[in-house]
Every structure is written in C-alpha cells, then in structure tokens.
Structure 1
Amino acid sequence: MLFDRIVSRWGLGWLAAALGVPLLLATGLVTARALTPEPARVAPPPAAPTAPATEATPTGEPVPAAAPAPATLPVVTYDPAPAGFPADPRPSDATPLTEGLTPTRKVAAYDAPGGRPLAFLAPTINGVEVTVPIVERRTGWTAVLLPSATRRIAWLPPDGDWATVPLRDQIVVERRPHRLTWYRDGHAKRSWQVSLGMRGQETPLGRTFVLGRTPPPEPVYGGVDVFALGAIPDDPDAIPPGLAGAHIGLHAWQDDDTLGEDVTNGCIRLTRSGQRQLLDEVRPGSVVLVVDALPTPPPTA
C-alpha cells in the first residue's frame, strides 16, 4: 500500500508511525512507502532501445560524449531529486508529449548534452516502473521530465539502457477556472471542475506527469485510488514539517462540496467518477500540465 502515514483534513499535526517516503496530503498531499504497480493492461509494449551514440547526428552535428558517471552518484527516488538539473525550457507548453522513456537499467542523468552527470534514473521507484515523458532531443541526447522535482529536466546520453513507449493522453489543469480537461491524441475527451491548492500552497504551475497510483489511504478519498504526480510543492516550507518531500497528487474526495475552491495543500481534487475514468484510461508517464488558463477554453463532454 502506497500511503503508510497521512495528515488528515482535520488534524495536520497527526501522523501515524514514521515509515518511509513522503507522497500526497489529505487536503492536498499524503505520505507513503510504496506505489502500487500499474496493471499490465495499460502498459503498451516498449519500442526498441535507442541506438548507441555515434560520432555525428544525421545532420552532421557532433554528438557530445558522455562523461563517465561515478558509481557514488545518488539515485532519483521518491525523495526530492538532487539539485543542479536545468529548468524545463517550456514549462507551460500545451503541445502534447507523445513519447515516454522507461529505463531498462540504471541510467546516468546529466545537466546538459555532454554535461555533468548528477544522478541515476532507475527502472523503478518504490517498486513501480518509471516512465518519464520525453520533452526534447538534441545532438543525439534525450531530455525528460525529472521525477520528484518540479519543472526540471534531465538529459540522457544516446547509449543509455532505455526503451520508448507511446503516450496518448494529456491532462490539463487550469487554476483560474478550476477546470481539469483530459485529452487523448490531442482531442478533448472530458472536463471536470476541480479543487486546487490554497493560498501559499498553490498547485504548482508547469508540466509534470503521472508517476504512479496508490490505494486510498483513508475513507476521505472516497474509496478511489490516487495518482501520485512527479511534481513536489513549490514551497516545501509552507507545508507541515512532517510532510517534507511530499509529492503533488490527483485524487477524489468523500464529497464534492469544495469543488471549484482553493482548499488543498497543492493537490488536484476531482469527482470520484472522474478519478475512476482517469485511472482506467491514463497510463503512468502521461503529462499533467498546470496553467492559470488556456487561451481558448476546451470543450466539455
């Protein structure tokens, strides 16, 4: 079970026995030890790994060599990712990301093509297969959204041990109208009203992704599984100290009384039926984009 301890809506100071890695709160973030593996039915077969690096790209541009990665580098886990990774250059870009990357073995992650190795991406985090969206390719290198960070990317070398998977879905959350829209293949499928982060603990803007899912840790979640996202709060000091390292989540609630309001600790809260549909349809690795508002409102199914 993902959540081993929880801060409830009515008692932010209450924690169960201190167990492991933080995840989402009851009003917005919660803490947990292990994610729930995604059922095999939602995982499309991986494509072949990328080809080894060559001396030049197809355009003749040299491929920067990958510096050796020391074995002592940290591994990206559910705890906040190591510092030093570059910012996402297009955090509010609504263009769908249609390809994900799954490490088949531990892969070194760099701060730039040919740059410094800062950490390793492992095939799993807390027992769940890792799929990260690909945001850019440059000179033979591949940039992905970094897990356990907000609006950060990592560069992977051409000869890394990883495979690619197709991504069809995108979730767009608009903070001003409190609206979540699910897109498939670039077309809006459904929209729902949502609750978002309260003042000082706003739901972080920018691109993130579905990291994994967990059973509901308490009845207040309406008996529906929770999606843990790759993003963490923008201001960790604004949340209770016991939730240091918590992730932003997407989940249902026991009632719909606060939909359209800013009441969570940063998480995205929607209806139980809407959450069930997203759990059935959206695979890990799919992008979740949070913006203030889209220029043109999406259609509502």
Structure 2
Amino acid sequence: MPLDAPRQLVGAALVAMSLAASIPAAAAASPATPAAAGSVTATALPAATTFTQVNGLPQDTDTYGKLSGLVVHPARTVAVYAQPGGTPAATLPAKQLGSQTWVPVVEARKGWYRVLLPSKPNHVTGWISAKGLKKARSRHRAIVKLGTKQLIVMNASKKLGTWTVAVGGPETPTPVGRTFLLALMSPKKKTYSPLILPLGTHSQTLDTFGGGPGTVAFHGWPDRKVFGKAVTHGCVRVPAGALKVLARLPLGTPVLIAP
C-alpha cells in the first residue's frame, strides 16, 4: 500500500473543491464486471464511488468509534452486500479519482469484511468478500475537532502535529463522524491548493456544488486569516505544513471528525 497516492486528476479539472470538494461528474469511475461470478452485470448495480448514492446497505452506527486501522483494496471491482452471501446491492471499483481504492474495515466475519464506503448517504457500509483483497494496516489517523478548529495527525501514539484549521460554516457545516482518506489529487493548473485530499464523506446541506457531488476534502488555502474560523462550505482548509503531513498518509487512513 503506497504512502503517496497517485497525483493526477481524472477527466475534467476539479471545480470549487475549496467550497464543497466538488468533482465534475465526468470524472466518475465506470464500474467493471463485478467479482461475483456471472451473477451481476457491469451495469446492473451502482458503483460505490464518491459520485453515487447506494441504497439497501447498513449504516455505520459507531460513528465516533476508533477504527482498527485494517484497510483493504480490491484488485478488481467486487460486489458489495448488505449481508455476507446475500444479494449484491452495489459494486466497489478498484480505483477512484485516479487512486487505488483503499477502504477501512469496521467489522470482520469469516471470509468477509464490512467496510466504509465513499458513497452517499454518509456512513454507509457494505460487506465484501475477503477473497482476493489486498490488506494493510494503517497506524495513522487524522482527527478534526470542529469546536476548537484543530487538526491532529497521529502515528499510533505519536503525535505528528496539531494545526489550527478552517471548517464548515453554520449553514454548511463539516459533517461529523468517522470517515477516511479516499484519494490524493494534484490540480494541473495553479490554484488555491497544490494538493487536494478527498474524504469518504459529503456535505449534508449541499447535494451538489459546482456540478459535483459535494465531496468533503482536506486542502490548503492561500489566506492564513481563515484558519481558526468556521467559513467553508464543508471542507477542511489546512496550513501548508499540515497538508504535507496529510499527503504522506496511506489511502484508507481513518479520519475522525468530532463536534
């Protein structure tokens, strides 16, 4: 599992990521044939990506619980189930936004993992077969404290840094709960941030923004006066030093957004 994710944009350029981490729909990954042998066609089920909403799957009820750090990557598109061995409800592609899909495990049973998904609604999970998955364990985690507007990054028990950040405003708050680093992207043209790190969560007040799905992200900001304020449309704006640390974290790293 690489420490540095691929840094290219997929399809069109990012649109207004600073406000709600919006990504043009043209960049959405197309689902490949699921691993469930012959039972599901490529177009029969929604792909669990940041662009989609998936229904009929369980919610993550322990939204502030500490994740184990176990993360998994499907080498090819796999079927996602509401219960192990049931009827597939979605597919999980091997790549998203130009990066490998790494998702954190919230529950394990023999031969199966229940993972956090990057789709709407927030906190949606699904079961995938353990067969053929690549596995890794992330010792890292990022914690955003909305009340104090602080970001803390940990490597096991070692604190890598604490920074004052900007978070969502009263009308467009940053969504709370546990999520994960979904991808690492580098805009092709100079913009407000050299890197953008989409998370597996979305704005709960903006269904879309700038033509994209309202994906929340970590990113930089050129005006340091915003740090310590609730002024964004849901994203977390971070100082340059914090952005460099976040960019070195493995994909799938747990992120906890606390009130």
So what's the TM-score if we normalise by structure 1? 0.72
1:147 aligned to 2:118?
Answer: yes
Q: Distance in 1 between matches of 2:39 and 2:173?
A: 36
Residue in structure 1 matched with residue 4 of structure 2 by the alignment: none
Unaligned runs of 5+ in 1: 8-24, 36-65, 293-301
Residue in structure 2 matched with residue 106 of structure 1 by the alignment: 77
CA contact (8 A) 2:22 2:213 kept: no
Residue in structure 1 matched with residue 19 of structure 2 by the alignment: 27
Structure 1 residue 119: deviation in Å? Answer: 0.9
CA contact (8 A) 1:109 1:156 kept: yes
Q: Distance in 2 between matches of 1:218 and 1:233?
A: 25
Correspondent of 1:74 among 31, 38, 46: 46
Q: Structure 2 matches for 1:166-205, cutoff 5 A?
A: 166-205=137-176
Q: Structure 2 matches for 1:30-45, cutoff 5 A?
A: 30-32=22-24
Structure 1 residue 197: deviation in Å? Answer: 0.7
Q: Which one has more relative contact order, counting CA pairs under 8 Å at least 6 apart?
A: 2
SS in 2 for 1:257: helix
Q: Which one-letter code corresponds to 2:141 in the other structure?
A: Q
CA contact (8 A) 1:219 1:254 kept: no
Correspondent of 2:255 among 288, 291, 296: 288
Residue in structure 2 matched with residue 264 of structure 1 by the alignment: 232
Residue in structure 2 matched with residue 88 of structure 1 by the alignment: 60
1:251 aligned to 2:219?
Answer: yes
Q: Which one-letter code corresponds to 1:170 in the other structure?
A: R
Structure 1 residue 178: deviation in Å? Answer: 0.5
Which structure's CA Rg is the greater one?
A: 1
1:127 aligned to 2:98?
Answer: yes
Structure 1 residue 157: deviation in Å? Answer: 2.6
CA contact (8 A) 2:21 2:198 kept: no
Q: Distance in 1 between matches of 2:137 and 2:171?
A: 36
CA contact (8 A) 2:115 2:126 kept: yes
Q: Which one-letter code corresponds to 1:277 in the other structure?
A: V
Q: Which one-letter code corresponds to 2:253 in the other structure?
A: S
Residue in structure 2 matched with residue 58 of structure 1 by the alignment: none
**Number of matched pairs:** 239
Unaligned runs of 5+ in 2: 1-7, 29-35
Structure 1 residue 138: deviation in Å? Answer: 2.6
CA contact (8 A) 1:96 1:186 kept: no
**What is the root-mean-square deviation in Å for CA atoms of aligned residues?**
2.4
